[in-house]
Amino acid sequence: MKLIEIYIHEVTRRLPEKNREDIALELESTISDMLPDDPNQEDVKVVLEKLGNPVSLANGYRDRPMYLIGPRYFDVYVTLIKMFFPIAAAVSFIIVIAQFFIGYSGNEAVMDVVLDLIGKGISKVIEVGIQVFFWLTIVFAVLERVDKGNDDQPLTSSLKKWTPDDLKNVTYLPKKKAISNFEVFLCLLWTAIAATVYFYADHLIGVYEGGRGELEFVIPAFNQEVLLRFWPIVVIMIALEIALSLYKLIKGRWTKRMALYTTVLQLIETIVVIVILVTPNILNAEFLSYMADLFNITNDQFKTWLLAGAIFLMISGAAYNIFDAFRKASKN
C-alpha cells in the first residue's frame, strides 16, 4: 500500500545509503507480519502508529546520536558552563577596564566614561559567554560521538558511571550556606572596580564641574604619586581577593575555614587602607582647599572629617563582611 511505502521511505532516507535496502526489506516484512489478512487502510494506520514516528524509528537504526549533547554528558556539560562562565566574564571585564584606562586621556565627561565602560563591559561579557558556550559545546559534542558507551546513564563529574559509592563524596548543602556563581562573579567584579579606582584615582575621584548633563573632571582628590607608593601591597591584596573568590567557586559553600580566611583578608585590607589614608600628603592640596571653601571650614577640619568618615565606613564594611561570613558558615 502507498502509506507503507511512504513510511518506509521516510525511515530509510534518514539512514546511510548502504543500509537502506536491507532495512527497507526488514521493515516491509515486520509491517506485513503485524497486519491482518486482507488489511484495509485503518489496519495499516494502526500498525504504523504502533511503529511510531519515522524519525524515532530511524534513530534506532543509526550508530550515532541524533542530538548534539545527550543525557550521558549533559549534566557535566551544564556544570562546567556554570563554573567557567563567571570566571571568564570577570576576567574579561577586568581586561576591558584595564584597556580603557591605559588609553584614557582624562578629558571625557564622567557620564560618558561610565556609559562607555558599561557598554564595552556588557559586550565583552556576552562575547566571552558565547565563546565559553561554543567551545564547551564542541568538546562535548565530539565526546558524545567518540564515546562507545552503550547507555544514556548520566556520567559523574569525573566522567565515570555513577555508583552508590559516589554518595560518600556528596555533602548535603543547605541553601543558606551555598555560594552561587553569581556571588563569585560580583566579588571578582568588585575587585576589578576597586583596582581600577586605585590605579586611576587621579582620573576618577575628585571634583567634577559642568552642566547640561556633562561633567568635567577638574581636581583630583588624591596625590597619585603618593598613592602609588603602595602598589606592591595593593597588588598582593588584589591577588588574595581573586584567590579567595576562586576558592569560593571551587568549594561552593561557606565553611568555618572560609570565614576565617575572609576575616584575615578583611583585617589586612582594612589596615592597609587606613595606613594609605593617613599617609602625609595623600590628599591633593588643591582638592582640600576647594572642598574646605565649599563647606566654609578649614583644610584640616575637612581632611579630618573626610578621613574619619572613610575609615569608619571601611571598618563598618569589614565588620559586616566578617559577621556575615561566620553567620553563613554556622548555618545548618
Q: Can you tell me the mean pLDDT for 252-270?
A: 91
**φ, ψ (nearest 5 deg) of residue 41:** -60, -40
Contact 215, 135 (CB under 8 A): no
Comparing 86 with 222, the larger pLDDT belongs to 222
pLDDT at 156 over 90: no
Is residue 48 within 8 Å of residue 4, measured between CB atoms?
yes
CA distance 6 to 12: 10
pTM flag (> 0.85): no
Predicted confidence (pLDDT) at residue 34 exceeds the cutoff of 80: yes
User: What letter represents residue 129's amino acid?
Assistant: G
Residue 177: pLDDT band (50, 70, 90) is: confident
Dump pLDDT digits (tens) for 272-321.
999 999 999 999 889 889 888 888 889 889 999 999 999 999 999 999 99
By mean pLDDT, which of 101-110, 240-249, 271-280 is the weakest? 101-110
pLDDT at 274: 93
Q: Report residue 159's pLDDT band, with 50, 70 and 90 as the boundaries.
A: low
Predicted pLDDT of residue 271: 94
